[in-house]
Amino acid sequence: MKKKVAIGMSGGVDSAVAAYLLKKKGYDVTGITMQVWPEDDYYEEREGGCCSISSVEDARRVAYKLDIPFYVFNFKDEFKEKVIDYFTSDYLKGNTPNPCIACNKYIKFDSLLNKVAAMGFDYVATGHYCRIEKIDNRFILKRAIDLNKDQSYALYNLSQYQLEHTLFPCGDYTKPQIREIAKEVGLQVHNKKDSEEICFIPDNDHGGYIKRFYPKDVTTGLFKDKDGKVLGEHKGIVYYTIGQRKGLGISLGKPRFVVNIDSQKNEILLGDEEEVFKNKLIVDELNFIAFSKLDEKINVQAKIRYSAPLKAATIEPLEDNCAIVTFNEKVRALTKGQSIVFYQDDIVLGGGIIKEIL
């Protein structure tokens, strides 16, 4: 009997080709698009992003072309609680959260996987660029063949159960190969532009988004330097992130960078660029894939954001599922709320959330 796979289809070329590859390999494939945006005029007015109405229709057309069943599942409540509310509250705390990581953790590989498993499916699949292998009776997450498209950074939260029941067909291909396959089999999305913005904020103005829905929580405050001197007024801490230079809205005669964000005082500390470079932090909410627990200090390569290069570091366990991370050299813009992911060669060891910069 064929193994049943529910493929999450975003309307883009990657998930479309992933569905095609799975069917070609002999799986019984069903396309699923997740409806996650709340019902609000803000979303109705926007067509971009992976969950828009136009993207749902693109996914539906692909499913029709591939002759596979297609369904739309409603995950609006879960998405609002686990992704949008988390995203907003973290920004209001002065952090810089990653909603895509939260979506992967709570929606795609929790809510969706649990739902399709209850329906009798063996696997959930997506168009992510990464690979899963089983080594010594443990499922391992590895970087994609195409390192320029590798998305393993956003998937460090996966559990052994989730890895066992997940397929990533695109991980063994380069992006140009995926587009070529789509073109060869006649998929209209073969040249569709990749979506790079936050799906529920298609205009990429996260500060404006939070201001729109939580106007009372976004208030003006002061820019200060390390000596406490007032340098000007900011429009709300949600508009800024560590290391930012452009868009501060003030002129000081020389470049100034966001060094720290104090949500309690509603103040932003500005300084020279050298003050943005740090080499030590505390990480919490750790999840390890390659092993069950960090028992001793180990050498790793670490990535502090999706587009950042890997940097040599050590991680040393602390209590309460935390660890100290020390980079071999100072790194620019370590930021609370962001995820840090640990690698050894192509293997994802695990990761966590940056809690404190030391």
Question: What are the residue numbers of the active site?
Answer: 103, 199
Amino acid at 108: K
Amino acid at 252: L
Residue with tokens 């970087």: 143
Q: Which of 208, 260, 257, 205 is nearest to 236 (CA)?
A: 208
Q: Is 235 helix (H, G, I), strand (E, B) or coil?
A: coil
- Burial of 292: CB neighbours in 10 Å, binned 0-12, 13-18, 19+: exposed
**Separation of alpha carbons 237 and 250, rounded Å:** 15
**Separation of alpha carbons 184 and 254, rounded Å:** 53
Element (H, E) at 61: helix 53-66
DSSP 297-336: -EEEEEESSTTSPPEEEEEEE-STT-EEEEEEEEEET--T
Q: Are strands 323-332 and 277-288 parallel, antiparallel or unpaired?
A: antiparallel
Are 240 and 336 in contact by the 8 Å Cβ rule? The answer is no
Record the tokens describing residue 198, joined without a space: 């936050």
